[in-house]
Structure 1
């Protein structure tokens, strides 16, 4: 028996090579490793660092249900090599195992990033045998024993947070004990195992239509956490369940059972899983999100947008709602410039005279909407000191698009010999070189002929399990398309490094870090109720770095001053997506918009490096009070929203400033109209807000 004990970036890992030449991952945590915590009726047998399920292989041993345990040949993989090196990112571990029967060799990668308690993981599968092997499941990360520290039962001490996500109901985190999820401890402690699993997955192209592809589990007894994200823009899967007296976590991309993915791996071929990231932190949710925020910044494409955080005006929300014309745009452009906006985006409808939904695909400007041409309007935007942008939905083609029937069927997703239809659109297949040529030509035309510097890249269909064209399964076709789209996007950014492309999918339905490691900005929601939007705003930094989280601010035509202030504070700690009929605002209310944008320009240098926290906890849509904090160097910002609360006073714990001398000011609005007090000994900010619907943004200044 041999062991490796490694500590890197505060994470302790313990590996063991058994007498049967099997490698086990015994420990992955910021907590210290304690041998006695491994006690079970099977020892460390089930602590496999990899799981792989292949068609036609027998799954022997104790197993119930469809869980990804005791996979075959996963259970019989033999240790080959353990490589430990460094690269420009940090430490890199490679664990190699092989199965002599199938000839499959697995290499599990763990890439560390210096100073960050998060590890990026993926698995390569090489067929070194003489026969094809059908892959049904391959883990990107597998860890048993996530509950092993502490004395109490796992269903008491382990709290799982699941980020539910939906259209206009984004970022709805819910907390559960394992007992509440049907995994109550009901067997002798040493042998816990069942057929029940917590299974969270996505099938299709909308990667976040039901859940953000991430999760968080907290050991309340030990006050330590494990957290993860799956970095994929298509189908993915994770599960938590019990095995041999412990609780495990398995992360992967698509599977056959859940996502219609199956890969026929031929001799000499290699398959690479989707990357996932896993981290551990001492403390709770805030500490975990600190590490994840730093990691997200580390893996992201270097770009000016996330350095400058320039203010975007978009004419859609509570404004033109997809009906742009030159006559409507000119006064809005004037007001956006007057407000201090730096980009101006013309949203949907610019390419069609009337109903446009099922006719999109050619992306040629409508002359009747824009007499004299779109370029003329783009030039007018530039004359006002702003960079012009437009809306696109480039991955689809409407069924009534003139081009739709002139191209071959292999441009589209196909199943059972038919083109896949959803909401009167076809899904383009980015594995097809002609589709790539079509998409690139559209971008070239917008940038070079019309002078576009910003694209809102929307996506409003769900084509399902994938395509059968040139694929071993529908899920295999979808995975190939997802990866081809990312490769195309990489090429566009190489070609146009200054072009800003916003990731939008009916708001936040593709909020994943396959996309967000490329895109610099993410639409967070289509939420039309500014009061409910406060929950999206507050929770956004749990899924997206603050400088990537675009939030609508859309003052109402018939609102009042407190409504404008509330609307602006929704966006002030993130990325401003200004909208609303600014032309219709009174001078006083327009003044609050101008003040907010001017203030934002003084604090955005802090936002791009800040770490988020939640003084009153992660927000629920029914909460009468909502808060979000950003911790910077020598300064914190705290946004506070009052949502119809009968109480006018809120106390906000700021634990990391307890005992500190702090100077508090109301940053926005400057004429606060509210009272506030800092309690040094308790580390608490108390604020009194003036109206039942109101918000304020505070600065807390202190010696760094």
Structure 2
């Protein structure tokens, strides 16, 4: 037996090569305890990868819907190991081979210097003489979850899952394994296993319509945790189940069983799985999310927007709501500038005289809405000292768009000989070079003809499993489209490096780090109730870096000063997307908007390097108190929302400041009713908000 032990950035990995097979026997923040390993004679445990090929036998019983002990996955034999370094950090590569099929599998593990995470993906090449049908290919596999300590894993493991839905994004729930139906069935039989699987999947082009592609697993006895994210903008899948008396985790992109994906791998052809990030921690969820924040910054495209954190005004939410005209915009532009906004975005509706939903696709300004031309409004924005922006939805074409009737079916997703249609739109297929050229020409016109420096790129349909046109399966057609779209976006950013493109999909329906490794901004929600937005805003940094999380602030025309403050606090630790009818606000309420934006500008250089923490834990909708903290050096910015609470006082634990002298002040608004105090010994910030529905932003600075 050959063993290779890795200790890198606080990650302990142990590989073994036994009977010519590679096994990942340990991946943790703690060193390996030999007594925790399960040895079962000739049994092959601790599979580092899974690959299922059509027609291959899976030998054991009771697999059910599990992706475990796949074939030829369990038969792959060791071929080579490479240990190197690159600009990112250490890189491990394990190569295995299956002689009968000729499949060569390479497992990639990329470390990131100073961060306790690994990026993992799998590459398979058909070196044989016959085509092989791929049904599943993992990105990362780990067996032996919860093996540290003495308590049975099913009694101590806790899984936190981020549920995600339109207008109800980023809602985390914490489950015991009993809650999930994952209680071990072994009893006195160590080889017994269940058919129960807890799996989280997405099928379709809205990558986060039900869940974020991430989770957090805690061992409450050993005090260690595992966390992960899958980085793909389409279909993906992860699962936890038991095998031979142990729990395993499998992460991957689409597969045949769950996502209608099947790939015919021809001789000489290579296929690469979607990437996944896996991290370890001993200090709880706040630290895990801080590490994930740093990792997300490391993999993101360098761009000026995430350095500057410019303030954006968008005319949609609780404002023009898709009904822009020259007159309305010219009234709003100077007010947005006076408030301190730096970008001004004309949202949907600018391209149609009236109803437009099922007619989009030509992207020409309405002469009725803009009789002096769309450029008149864009120029007025620039003359006011702001950069203009506009809304687009380039991945779809309305069923009543004249252009759609002229184009061949090769432009669109097809299933069973028909164009895929959803909500009055066809899905464009970015595998088609003509589609990519068409979309690029629209961008060229927006930038060069109208002077646009910001595009809100929306996407409002779900085309389902994919397209079967020129594809081995609908899932493979979708995967190829997803990757073609990413390559197109990369090209656009290379062509226009200063252009900001906001990632929006009915708000947050594609909050994934395939998209966010490229886009500088993510729309977090279409939520129209500012009170509900508090929970969403507080939880957002678990899903996306603070400087990428665009949050609406939309003071209501008939609101009051506390409502205005609440709206501003929602956005002030993230990215301000200002909206609302600013021209209709009273002078006092407009002054609060202006003060909030000025305050934001004074701290935004800290936000871009800060990491999140949650004094009250991640929020649930309906919580009476909500809080989000950002730690930037010795400064801690803490947003606090009181939401329908009968108690006007709240204690906020800040564990990393316990026992330290600190100064505290209400940062925004400066002249509003509230009190605060720092309790050094307990490490708690006490705040008093006398008004029931209210919010404040505090600064707690540790004294050096």
For the superposition of Structure 1 and Structure 2, which TM-score range results when normalised by the shorter chain? over 0.9
Counterpart residue number, 2:491: 491
Residue number in structure 2 paired with 1:603: 603
* Aligned residue number for residue 235 of structure 2: 235
Q: Deviations over 1:440-480 (max 9, x none)?
A: 00000000000000000000000000011111111110000
Equivalent residue for 2:435? 435
User: What CA RMSD, in Å, does the superposition of the two structures yield over aligned residues?
Assistant: 1.0
User: Which residue of the partner structure matches residue 75 of structure 1?
Assistant: 74
**Structure 1 residue 402, shift from structure 2 partner:** 1.2
Pairwise CA distance, 1:192: 5.3
Q: Name the SS of the counterpart of 2:380 in structure 1.
A: helix
Output the TM-score relative to the length of structure 1: 0.99
Rounded to whole Å, the distance in 2 between the matches of 1:439 and 1:581 is 32
Q: For 1:343-354, what aligned pairs fall within 5 Å after superposition?
A: 343-354=343-354
**Cα deviations by residue, 1:673-696 (Å, 9 ceiling, x for unpaired):** 111110001100000002000001
Tell whether the 8 Å contact from 1:232 to 1:274 is kept in structure 2 after alignment. yes
Output the TM-score relative to the length of structure 2. 0.99
Q: Residues 382 and 152 from structure 1, CA distance in 2 versus in 1: closer, same or farther, beyond 3 angstroms?
A: same
CA deviation after TM superposition for structure 1 residue 185, in Å: 2.6
Deviations 1:459-505 (A, max 9, x none): 00000000111111111100000000000000000000000000000
Alignment of 1:138 with 2:146, yes or no, is no
Aligned to 2:8: 8
* Kept after mapping to 1: 8 A contact 2:663/2:703: no
Distance change (3 Å), C-alpha of 1:105 and 1:337:
same
**Which stretch shifts more, 344-353 or 213-222?**
213-222
Question: Residues 513-567 of structure 1, C-alpha deviation per residue, up to 9 Å, x if partnerless?
Answer: 0000000000000000000100010000000000000000000111111110000
Deviation of 1:245 (Å) = 1.9
Q: Deviations over 1:80-99 (max 9, x none)?
A: 01100000111110000000
Give the match's secondary structure for 2:492: helix
Q: Is the Cα contact below 8 Å between 1:155 and 1:179 reproduced in 2? A: yes
Q: Which residue of 2 aligns with 1:699?
A: 699
User: Contact 1:554/1:580 (CA < 8 Å) preserved in 2?
Assistant: yes
Give, in angstroms, the shift of residue 187 of structure 1: 2.1
| Most deviating of 41-50 and 211-220 | 41-50
Which SS does the other structure have where 1:404 is aligned?
A: helix
1:703 Cα shift?
Answer: 3.5
Report the equivalent of 2:179: 180
Give the aligned partner of residue 383 of structure 1: 383
Q: 2: CA distance between counterparts of 1:568 and 1:113?
A: 36
Alignment-derived partner of residue 329 in structure 2: 329
CA contact (8 A) 1:26 1:44 kept: no
What secondary structure is seen at the aligned counterpart in 2 of 1:108?
A: strand
Question: What residue in structure 2 maps to residue 362 of structure 1?
Answer: 362
1:46 aligned residue: 45
SS at match of 2:551: strand
Asked if 2 retains the 8 angstrom alpha-carbon contact of 1:659 and 1:683, the reply is yes
Q: Does 1:457 align with 2:495?
A: no
CA distance in 1, matches of 2:540, 2:460: 21
CA distance in 2, matches of 1:149, 1:646: 43
Cα distance between partner residues in 2 of 1:230 and 1:260: 18
Distance 1:44 1:162, change over 3 A: farther
1:262-411 map, 5 Å? 262-411=262-411
Aligned to 1:225, what secondary structure does the other structure show?
Answer: strand
Query: Offset at 1:193?
Result: 1.8
Q: What are the ranges of 5 or more consecutive residues in structure 1 without an aligned counterpart?
A: none
Q: How far is 1:180 from its partner?
A: 0.4
Match status 1:171 vs 2:170: yes
**Deviation at residue 38 of structure 1 after TM alignment:** 1.3
Q: Which residue of the partner structure matches residue 30 of structure 1?
A: 29
Q: Aligned equivalents of 1:222 and 1:520: distance in 2?
A: 38
Displaced runs of 4 or more, over 6 A: none
CA pair 399-42 structure 1, distance change in 2 beyond 3 A: farther
In the superposition, relative to structure 1, how do residues 199 and 399 fare at CA in structure 2: closer, same or farther (>3 Å)?
Answer: same
Change (3 A) 1:558 1:42: farther
The answer for the alignment partner of 1:589 in structure 2 is: 589
2:621 matched residue in structure 1: 621
- Describe how 1:476-625 pairs up with structure 2 within 5 A: 476-625=476-625
SS in 1 for 2:647: coil
Distance (whole Å) between structure 2 residues aligned to residue 505 and residue 195 of structure 1? 36
Task: Give me the whole-angstrom Cα distance separating, in 2, the residues matched to 1:545 and 1:488.
Answer: 23
1:94 is aligned to: 93
